[in-house]
Amino acid sequence: MSPPSISTLSFFLLLASSCSSAVSADGHDDFIQCLSRQSNYSSLSNDVYTPANSSYTSILQSTIRNTRFASESTPKPQVIITPEHESQIPPVISCARQTGLEIRTRSGGHDMEGLSYVSQVPFAIIDMVNLSEVTVNVDEKTAWIEAGATTGTVYYRIAEKSHVLAFPGAICTTVGVSGHFSGGGYGPLMRKHGLAGDNVVDARIIDANGRILDRESMGEDLFWAIRGGGGASFGVITAWKVQLVDVPETVTVFSVIRPLDQNSTELVQRWQYVAPEADKDLFVGVYLFRVNSTIQANLFSLFLGRADRLLPLMQETFPELGLAREEVREMSWVQSTLFLNQGQQEPLEVLLNRTQPGLRQLKTRSDYVQTPMREDGFNGIVRMLSEPEADETLIYIVPYGGRMNEIPESATPFPHRAGNLYMIASLVYWQDSEARDAERYLSWSRRYNSYMTPYVSSSPRQAYFNYRDLEIGVNNPNGKTSYAEASVWGKPYYKDNFDRLVKVKTVIDPTNFFKNEQSIPPLHSKWT
C-alpha cells in the first residue's frame, strides 16, 4: 500500500535505454515472429508494444509507482503485452519460453522494488490493465474480479449493487488486486474479516505450460500458495473469486492529528496496548511523519457502527486520545474507503481513477512487533524522523488482533497472525530532483532498520511480502536461487510456510520459468 502524500496544508496529500537492448535484436524479433505464428495473433496484435511503438513509453510508465525505477538507466522490457482476454496469454508464455524471454506480470505497479516491470535479464511484461472487469453477485455475496482491476474499482462496483456488502482490501485505492490478493492483502477490515487472501474462494491461473486452471483443476496446494505466497512464482493469475462480507449501512471514521516531541510519545505508546485488543469492529492505525520541524501522529480509524457506539468505546479504552464528537464522521462503507485514502467522501467516481498523484522515489521496510515497545523506543523513532533525510518519511503502524488472531498461520502462506500486536513499516520518500542523493535516503532507511532490531520479531525477523525488500538476503537477478539462499528472505516473509511453497513450486513449475529476484525456487538436488 502506498499512503497519500504529506503536505503542511493537508495530510491526505501524503497518502528504451541502453539497458533495454540487453536482448539482441534477433531475440526480440524471434519473440514477435513466434507470436505472429499463433492462431489468435490477429486479436492480440494491437496489444503488443515494442520500443518502436509510439505508445510504448506511456504504457510502460502508466503504472510505475516508485520512480526509483523510471530512470533512463532502468532496464526496459523488450515487449509489453496488454491482453484483453485470458486466452491470449498462453501463446505469450509459449513464445517467451521458446525465445528465452523472462515474463513479468503487472496489475497495478505498486510493488515496492519494481519487480513487475524491471528485470536484469531479457524480459517481457504482461500488463493486465485491460483485464479489469468486476462482476458482483449480491445473492451469493461473491464477486469475480479480473486481475487488472484496482481495489478502488472493486469497492465502487460492490457499492453499485449493495450498501451493506464490502470486501476487506487495501486502504490505497490504486493498488492492483492481483499483487495485493496474492501477497495476503491487509486493510481496515482485517480485524473483523481477515485479509483479502483469506476471503478468496476461487481463482484462474495460467501455468508455465499454458494451461488455464481454476481452483478445482489447479488443486488445493496451488490454490493455497497463491493466497499469500505471491502469484508471480507460479503463473499468471487472470481472475479472483472473492467472498464479500457484511457491513452496517452506516460506519464511522476519524482521522485526527496530534503533535509529538522527542520526549512525549505516550499517546502512541498507549495506542499499542489498546488497538490490538480492541473490539473487532474497531480499526485504529497510526501514521508518524514530520511537518516542518514538528513530528505528528495521525490516528485514523474505521468503526463498523455508528458514532454513538464508538465514542463511549473510545472514552473507555483510549481516553488519552481525547476524541471529540466533532472529529468523527458517519458515512457509508464505500465512502469510508475514499475518506481513509484521500480525506474525502465524494465523489465516489474518484475510486475508479487508476492514477496516483505525487509519485516519488521510495524505499520501504516492514516489521512485526510482538511485545509493546518502550516509550524510549518510540522516542528514538521521533528523533530519527527529525533528521534531514526523513523530511518525507512516513512510519505506518497497523494493528492486528481480532480475526487475525483466530486464523491459523498455516491457513494461507501469510503467517503473521496470533502473537503479533502490529506491523510497523517505514516508507522513505525523496523527490526525483534528489536522485543523485538517493544513497543518503537509503542509508537512513538502513540505520532505521538497524535501530528497530531490538523492538521487533526475531528468529526470523518477520517482514510483509507485499512490502518486498531486496536487501533481505541474496538476490540472484536470474531467479536461480538455491533453497538455502532463498530461505534467508523466504523465512521472514513466510516462516515455516516457505517449505510448503517450495514443494508447490517444484510440482507446478519445476523448470522455474516464472521467477524473479525473490520468487519461490523449486527444490532441485543440485541446489541443496
What would the DSSP string read from start to end of 294-335? EEEEEEEEEESS-HHHHHHHHHHH-GGG---GGGEEEE-HHH
State the amino acid at position 79 in one-letter form: V
The 10s digit of each residue's pLDDT in 357-386 is: 889 999 999 999 999 999 999 999 999 999
Q: Are 276 and 389 in contact (CB under 8 A)?
A: no
Residue 92 has pLDDT above 80, yes or no: yes
pLDDT at 50 over 90: yes
Residue type, 503: K
- pLDDT score of 507 more than 80: yes
Each residue of 247-294: pLDDT tens digit?
Answer: 999 999 999 999 997 667 999 999 999 999 999 999 999 999 999 999
Helix, strand, coil % in the chain, rounded to nearest 5: 40, 20, 40
Which residues pair with residue 166 across a beta bridge?
245
> pLDDT at position 38, please?
87
C-alpha span between 265 and 422 (Å, rounded): 17
Residue 356 makes CB contacts below 8 A (sequence gap 6+) with: 2, 65, 174
Instruction: Name the E strands within 25-101.
Output: 48-49, 79-81
Element (H, E) at 125: strand 123-127
Please tell me which residue, 433 or 403, carries the higher pLDDT value.
403
Neighbours of 218 (CB within 10 A): 22
Q: What is the 3-state secondary structure (H, E, C) of 131-177?
A: CCCEEEECCCCEEEEECCCEHHHHHHHHHHHCCCEECCCCCCCCCEH
Q: Which of the pair, 245 or 436, is modelled with greater confidence?
A: 245
pLDDT exceeds cutoff 90 at 454 = yes
For β-strands 123-127 and 79-81, DSSP reports them as parallel
Name the 3-class secondary structure at 206.
Answer: strand
Report, as an integer, the average pLDDT of 84-89: 96
SS (H, E, C) 377-414: HHHHHHHHHCCHHHCCCEEEEEECCHHHHCCCCCCCCC
Closest residue by Cα to residue 77 from 90, 92, 87: 92
Mean pLDDT over 214-235 rounds to: 98
> What letter would DSSP give residue 349?
G
Mean per-residue pLDDT for 55-66?
A: 95
**151: Cβ–Cβ under 8 A, 6 or more apart, which residues?**
169, 170, 172, 173, 174, 175, 177, 180, 187
Give exposure, 320-357, as e/b (b: 16+ Cβ within 10 Å): ebebeeeebebbbbbbbbbbbbbbebeebeebeebebe
8 Å CB contact between 243 and 205: no
Catalytic residue, chosen from 49, 156, 429, 467, is 467
- Residues of the chain with pLDDT > 90: what percent? 85
Catalytic site includes residue 467:
yes
- What is residue 416's three-state secondary structure? coil
Lowest-confidence range among 20-29, 320-329, 448-457?
Answer: 20-29
Is the pLDDT at 427 greater than 80? The verdict is: yes
Q: What is residue 479's predicted lDDT score, i.e. its pLDDT? A: 61
In angstroms, the CA 131 to CA 120 distance is 27
Q: Which residue has the higher pLDDT, 524 or 263?
A: 524
Q: How far apart are CA 247 and CA 249, in angstroms?
A: 7
Q: Residue 162 above 90 pLDDT?
A: yes
Q: Are the C-beta atoms of 190 and 403 separated by less than 8 Å? A: yes
Judge contact between 318 and 271, C-beta under 8 A: yes
- CB proximity list for 125: less than 8 A, separation 6 or greater: 60, 77, 79, 80, 81, 104, 105, 106, 116, 117
Name the E strands within 149-250: 165-166, 200-206, 212-213, 236-243, 245-246
Residue in the structure block whose three cell numbers are 485479509: 195
pLDDT at residue 478 in the model: 62
In this structure, how many other beta carbons lie within 10 angstroms of the beta carbon of residue 311? 18
Pairing between strand 422-430 and 394-399? Answer: antiparallel
Q: What is the pLDDT of residue 395?
A: 98
Q: What is the pLDDT of residue 27?
A: 56
The Cβ-side half-sphere exposure at 333, using a 13 Å CA radius, reads 26
List, in order of start, the domains of the chain with CATH numbers.
11-130 (3.30.43.10)
pLDDT at 5 over 70: no
Mean pLDDT of the chain: 92
Strand order in the sheet with 102-106: 48-49, 79-81, 123-127, 102-106
Q: pLDDT (tens digit, 9 = 90+) per residue, 430-445?
A: 998 877 789 999 999 9
pLDDT at 19 over 50: no
